[in-house]
A and B are shown apart, each in its own frame.
Chain A
Amino acid sequence: MPEIFLKNVSKHFGRVVAVDRLDLQILSNAFVTLLGPSGCGKTTILRMIAGLETPTEGRITIGNKVVFDSDHGINLPPNKRDVGFLFQNYALWPHMTVYQNIAFGLENLKWSKNDIRSRIEELLAMLRIDQFENRYPSELSGGQQQRVAIARTLAPGPKVLFMDEPLSNLDAKLRMEMRAELKRLHRDTDSTIVYVTHDQQEAMTLSTMVCIIEKGQLQQYAPPLPMYNNPANLFVADFLGNPAMNFIDGHLTGDGVLSFAGLQARFSAFNAVTLGERDVTVGIRPEYVRIEKDGALEATVYSTLPSGMETTVKLEVNGVSLTSVVFGDVDFQVDRKVRFSFNKATVLFDRESGRTIARGALTLL
């Protein structure tokens, strides 16, 4: 039973198409991330589901309730959709204390004073901000404001939660911490979460499903790890993963011989597909470019970025630059020669359309 259902939803701002005929199915209890570069329409999608924005056309259902249908003139206001929304800048009311901020929504629902108090105490304890009850938002740090905003959103116990880049205003350390807490929150509250972000790592680590959007169009909708390994196209492959995937222009002959970066290799696809002769882009994840003593190939070290846990190495092979990730606290001398090999999967993309042709292994000739 799908919890949220978008059918053929479009949004136009004047002549600009922000969202183009989007179909999306969000299952109950899912943690779905809308991921994409800024201006791709992901926030607009979220705001349309929440009712803060009116779609130009299409149909949206939440649970069994049709909340928007352009054909039938249905458009429920946000307060009738029974959802929670966490804003990027928290949107805490500056003139209310932490307690008043959280109580406000419960007062609207005509909760009794005692119920409100016990609910707020429960939330404050859960988010570990009990000592700030009587402070004003301006007297809290960013992380504390964030927690208050979460408490305010959770207070009425909505079954569907929308979050619009809620961690983007926090510093790196706090962001990591809040990520873990959001994931825990998802489990503890048994809710469906739709989450907007432009941070691929956030999407990878948090969600059960990732929805990648570009220029208002859905690129791929899949669980994070399968999407990482089986990107639908070049855009998705490029967007996921840090450091980004290596892309090398190459040519594929009809009999499966791939020439790229001055190398010749046989490409054997994992699935049965007809490859056909064409120009391709070869995609190799940095962790599959293995620097090892008995590697089959030789490269020059261009630069190294050791971080302690792993080292990102830029290599140069026949004038083509390659990124490699080596795990552990190792470093390399710049301008020295190293040996390396391609390990595990390689993805071939059609150069013209950017679409994925096949995933497979390389055997050097």
Chain B
Amino acid sequence: MDEARTQRIALNRIKGKTLAWFSKPANVILLVFLLLLAALTLYPLLSLLTETVTVHAGREARAAKQAVGDLTFYHFQRLFATQENEYSLIQFYEPFRNTLLVSLSASMIAILFGGTVAFLVMRTNLKYVKFVSAVFTFPYIMPSWTLALFWENFFKNVNIGLKTSNGIMAAVFGVYMPEWFVYGGFPIALVLGLHYAPYAFILIGTMLRNMDASLEEAAMILRTRRLRIIRCITLPVVRPAIMSTFLLVFASSMSAYSVPVFLGSPVRFYMLSTKMKSLIDSYPGQAYIIASVMILLGIVILLLNQRVTSSRKHFTTVTGKSRQISRIDLGRANYPLAILLVIVLLLVAVTPLLTFAMESVIIKAGDYTPGNMTLDFWIGTNLTERLDQGDSTGILLNPKVWNALGYSLGLAALSAFVAGTCGILVGYGVAKRRGSRLANVVNALSFFPYLMPSLAFGAIYLAMSSRIPWLRGFLLLALVGSVKYMPFSSRSGLNAMLQLSGEIEEAAVITGVPWWKRMLRVVFPIQKSSFLSGYLMPMVSCMRELSLFVLLVPTSNTILTTMLMQYSEKGWAQFGNAINLLIIIVVLLVNFIVNKLTGASIDKGVGG
């Protein structure tokens, strides 16, 4: 009798606790996303790992001398320990070394350039600050190959690389740059560094802006010289921002594909990403091992980053009441410095567009005289009769281009909607249950896709889709896009939620407002611009994404970026450049319109 009663009480308690747990929306959200993200990131990861020990059909099965589908360690043995013809060295160790060197240098360049400009903008009385901060994010909005293509267009010449034609530098100015300058590790690192410098600018700049000015004032009162203040106080305080920039730039550079294709392939300079692409058709097992190594590298950097930022030297940037930061007077160096910066930014952000426009109107490559120019590649008809290559109409009259543009926009919009909404929900759940194990796991899982190289991510989903018949075409692309870009949204969602005090929502809870109404009517409107930035980032990234989709598109005419790739491979440079310019203009336009209409911006999307 008594025992039955205790049992009933115990049962009731468990029931009560469970009900209470599930009555909190944050718990339900976290649980749902735990399952969803595990399925969408851990499952692909596991299937990637199984692929590394599976024999695939074709050349691989013949080389391994095993049946298709068997368990094998041949791929590992072949990739890591084949002395013959220096196979391992060429296929793995050299690309690995190149990847490390390029990613490290790109991170350094991004941090030095972006960080310095952030310091100048936030902490000195530099002139033209508005222009500088507006144009600085340009390179990030543009596709990453933009600068690479520009670099090649500008510096290529008949003595180096594929030795096809002269770029502007050689043709117009007669300057023939050496090969190391135009192709290989140096330009790849530089281009990636410049492309990702906006990360540094935004992250470090935000930290500098929010930094408690009294930390510096305290040093000033204690008779510290300006340089010592910067070295001993300012830099250490912004170190977390420097570290997260490092993480982002390193992970992005490591998995960058298009830049090393443009600037590496002509001189057989391979990084892990390009090597993986070249191996994936013939030796998928080895390609998947390379993908795993890249993911592993990303995780190592992430762990390192976490160790550094969560040490005893707890960093907070509580804003004191001294908000007016004393700006350093640059004195006579001001104008020269400002003008130099404006010139560099124009070179990096504006001239690429001009060269694309230029390259898209010349008939014969390398000849930049007015007589050699035509608008045919944009609006011409019956081109096949007059030119021996390319489509018959200019890109603006080509229905294939318009279809691809529509498809790209639709894909970007859907991915952005899904990623952005999920990001807000994850941010909400994690913020509400901050510190709990469930929240930590979901938070880590939602960041995980960032560490997955796009190409590998695409490859895995390709493998997955072969087992799921309805996962095809647009749906597949949208799913991949949503998962891959959710890290941006969940980060900005989490930041926005952390800024919002819990009482604001609790005030609505007390009066009995249902959860969905609280989200739509209270939480969302207050942090509107931050949340919308969580939609903008995936949208912009998706519009200009190539490597993620390149393996998954039904035909290469499906989306604009793969179309561009196809034209470049065929050597239809004018069409390629025209489409490139079209993509950039569309992306800039989308960014501009969204920014003007809603106040959302890339800065906030990165976590500023």
A residues 30-66 near B (Cβ < 8 Å) are 43, 47, 50, 52-53
A residues 134-173 near B (Cβ < 8 Å) are 136-139, 152, 156
Instruction: Give the residue name and chain of the A residue nearest to B239 (CB).
Output: A95
Q: A253 CA to B484 CA in the complex, in Å? A: 84
Residues of chain B having any CB pair with chain A under 8 Å:
212, 214-215, 217-225, 228, 232-233, 236-237, 239, 312-316, 318, 320-322, 324, 326
* B218/A87 in contact, CB under 8 A: yes
Instruction: Give the residue name and chain of the A residue nearest to B220 (CB).
Output: A78
Contact residues in A for B218 (Cβ distance below 8 Å) = 85, 87, 91, 93, 152
Contact residues in A for B212 (Cβ distance below 8 Å) = 89, 91
Q: Shortest beta-carbon distance, B441 to chain A, in Å?
A: 26
Contact residues in B for A91 (Cβ distance below 8 Å) = 212, 214-215, 217-218, 320
Check if A328 is an interface residue, CB within 8 A of chain B: no
Complex A-B, nearest 5 residue pairs according to Cβ-Cβ distance, in ascending order: A105-B222, A138-B314, A91-B214, A79-B223, A95-B236
* 17 A–B pairs (Cβ distance < 8 Å), ordered by A: A43-B321, A52-B322, A79-B220, A79-B224, A83-B221, A87-B322, A89-B321, A91-B320, A93-B218, A93-B237, A94-B313, A95-B315, A104-B222, A108-B225, A109-B223, A136-B314, A138-B314
Pick from B217, B222, B324 the residue with the most CB of A within 10 Å: B222
Instruction: Give the residue name and chain of the A residue nearest to B315 (CB).
Output: A94
Contact residues in B for A109 (Cβ distance below 8 Å) = 223
* B221/A108 in contact, CB under 8 A: no
Check if A276 is an interface residue, CB within 8 A of chain B: no
Which of B221, B320, B324 makes the CB contact (< 8 A) with A78?
Answer: B221
Check if A84 is an interface residue, CB within 8 A of chain B: yes
Q: Shortest beta-carbon distance, B53 to chain A, in Å?
A: 46
Q: Shortest beta-carbon distance, B324 to chain A, in Å?
A: 7
A residues 195-229 near B (Cβ < 8 Å) are none
Pick from B212, B237, B322 the residue with the most CB of A within 10 Å: B322
Which of A79, A88, A137 makes the CB contact (< 8 A) with B221?
Answer: A79
Q: A77 CA to B239 CA in the complex, in Å? A: 28
* A88/B314 in contact, CB under 8 A: no
Q: Shortest beta-carbon distance, B217 to chain A, in Å?
A: 5
Instruction: Give the residue name and chain of the A residue nearest to B318 (CB).
Output: A89
Which of A53, A79, A87, A136 makes the CB contact (< 8 A) with B214?
Answer: A87
Instruction: Give the residue name and chain of the A residue nearest to B224 (CB).
Output: A108
Contacts A52-B217, A83-B221; is A47 near B239 (CB within 8 Å)?
Answer: no
* B312/A84 in contact, CB under 8 A: no
* B239/A85 in contact, CB under 8 A: no
Pick from A52, A137, A156 the residue with the most CB of B within 10 Å: A52
Instruction: Give the residue name and chain of the B residue nearest to A85 (CB).
Output: B221
Contacts A43-B321, A88-B321; is A94 near B222 (CB within 8 Å)?
Answer: no
Contact residues in B for A93 (Cβ distance below 8 Å) = 215, 218-219, 233, 236-237
* B224/A104 in contact, CB under 8 A: yes
* B221/A50 in contact, CB under 8 A: yes
Q: Is chain B's binding surface mostly helix, strand, loop or mixed?
A: loop
Contact residues in B for A52 (Cβ distance below 8 Å) = 217, 220-221, 322, 326
Pick from B212, B215, B315 the residue with the most CB of A within 10 Å: B215
Contacts A95-B315, A138-B313; is A104 near B219 (CB within 8 Å)?
Answer: yes
Q: A108 CA to B233 CA in the complex, in Å? A: 13
Contacts A91-B320, A138-B314, A139-B312; is A156 near B237 (CB within 8 Å)?
Answer: no
Given A83-B221, A88-B320, A152-B222, 17 new contacts (CB under 8 A): A52-B221, A78-B220, A78-B221, A79-B224, A80-B223, A87-B217, A91-B215, A91-B320, A93-B218, A94-B316, A95-B237, A95-B315, A104-B219, A105-B224, A138-B312, A139-B312, A156-B222
Q: Shortest beta-carbon distance, B123 to chain A, in Å?
A: 15
Q: How large is the interface on A (under 10, 10 to 19, 20 to 34, 35 or more residues)?
A: 20 to 34
Contact residues in B for A108 (Cβ distance below 8 Å) = 222-225, 228
Contacts A87-B320, A88-B320, A95-B237; is A78 near B215 (CB within 8 Å)?
Answer: no
Q: Shortest beta-carbon distance, B494 to chain A, in Å?
A: 22
* B313/A78 in contact, CB under 8 A: no
A residues 107-126 near B (Cβ < 8 Å) are 108-109
Contacts A88-B320, A104-B232; is A95 near B221 (CB within 8 Å)?
Answer: no
Q: A137 CA to B215 CA in the complex, in Å? A: 13
Residues of chain A having any CB pair with chain B under 8 Å:
43, 47, 50, 52-53, 77-80, 83-85, 87-89, 91, 93-95, 104-105, 108-109, 136-139, 152, 156
Q: A139 CA to B316 CA in the complex, in Å? A: 13
Q: A105 CA to B233 CA in the complex, in Å? A: 12
Contacts A88-B321, A104-B219, A108-B224; is A138 near B214 (CB within 8 Å)?
Answer: no
Contact residues in B for A137 (Cβ distance below 8 Å) = 314
Contact residues in B for A105 (Cβ distance below 8 Å) = 222-224
Q: A83 CA to B217 CA in the complex, in Å? A: 12
Q: Shortest beta-carbon distance, A142 to chain B, in Å?
A: 12
Q: A137 CA to B313 CA in the complex, in Å? A: 8
Pick from A83, A104, A136, A139 the residue with the most CB of B within 10 Å: A104
Contact residues in A for B314 (Cβ distance below 8 Å) = 94, 136-139
Contact residues in B for A43 (Cβ distance below 8 Å) = 321
Q: Shortest beta-carbon distance, B204 to chain A, in Å?
A: 16
* B313/A95 in contact, CB under 8 A: yes
Q: A43 CA to B323 CA in the complex, in Å? A: 12
Instruction: Give the residue name and chain of the A residue nearest to B324 (CB).
Output: A53
Instruction: Give the residue name and chain of the A residue nearest to B311 (CB).
Output: A136
Contact residues in A for B315 (Cβ distance below 8 Å) = 94-95
Which of B217, B224, B324 makes the CB contact (< 8 A) with A85?
Answer: B217
Q: A50 CA to B222 CA in the complex, in Å? A: 12
Contact residues in B for A89 (Cβ distance below 8 Å) = 212, 214, 318, 320-321
Q: Shortest beta-carbon distance, A59 to chain B, in Å?
A: 21
Q: A128 CA to B212 CA in the complex, in Å? A: 27
* A136/B220 in contact, CB under 8 A: no
Contact residues in A for B214 (Cβ distance below 8 Å) = 87-89, 91
Q: A93 CA to B317 CA in the complex, in Å? A: 11
Pick from A43, A77, A94, A139 the residue with the most CB of B within 10 Å: A94
Instruction: Give the residue name and chain of the B residue nearest to A135 (CB).
Output: B312
Contact residues in B for A95 (Cβ distance below 8 Å) = 236-237, 239, 313, 315
Q: A129 CA to B138 CA in the complex, in Å? A: 52
* A47/B322 in contact, CB under 8 A: yes
Pick from B217, B218, B318 the residue with the most CB of A within 10 Å: B218
Q: A104 CA to B320 CA in the complex, in Å? A: 21
Contact residues in B for A138 (Cβ distance below 8 Å) = 312-314, 316
Q: A84 CA to B219 CA in the complex, in Å? A: 11
Contact residues in A for B222 (Cβ distance below 8 Å) = 79, 104-105, 108, 152, 156
Instruction: Give the residue name and chain of the A residue nearest to B228 (CB).
Output: A108
Instruction: Give the residue name and chain of the A residue nearest to B218 (CB).
Output: A91
Contacts A95-B239, A104-B232; is A78 near B217 (CB within 8 Å)?
Answer: yes
Q: Shortest beta-carbon distance, A124 to chain B, in Å?
A: 17
Contact residues in B for A80 (Cβ distance below 8 Å) = 223
Instruction: Give the residue name and chain of the B residue nearest to A158 (CB).
Output: B221
Q: A47 CA to B324 CA in the complex, in Å? A: 11
Q: Shortest beta-carbon distance, B238 to chain A, in Å?
A: 11
Contact residues in A for B228 (Cβ distance below 8 Å) = 108
Instruction: Give the residue name and chain of the A residue nearest to B217 (CB).
Output: A52
Instruction: Give the residue name and chain of the A residue nearest to B316 (CB).
Output: A94
Q: A137 CA to B221 CA in the complex, in Å? A: 19
Q: Shortest beta-carbon distance, B463 to chain A, in Å?
A: 46
Contact residues in A for B326 (Cβ distance below 8 Å) = 52
Instruction: Give the residue name and chain of the A residue nearest to B312 (CB).
Output: A136
Q: A136 CA to B219 CA in the complex, in Å? A: 17
Q: A307 CA to B326 CA in the complex, in Å? A: 47
Contact residues in B for A84 (Cβ distance below 8 Å) = 221
Contact residues in A for B237 (Cβ distance below 8 Å) = 93-95
Contact residues in A for B219 (Cβ distance below 8 Å) = 93, 104
Q: Shortest beta-carbon distance, B219 to chain A, in Å?
A: 7
Contact residues in B for A104 (Cβ distance below 8 Å) = 219, 222, 224, 232
Contact residues in A for B233 (Cβ distance below 8 Å) = 93
Instruction: Give the residue name and chain of the B residue nearest to A156 (CB).
Output: B222
Q: Shortest beta-carbon distance, A116 to chain B, in Å?
A: 13
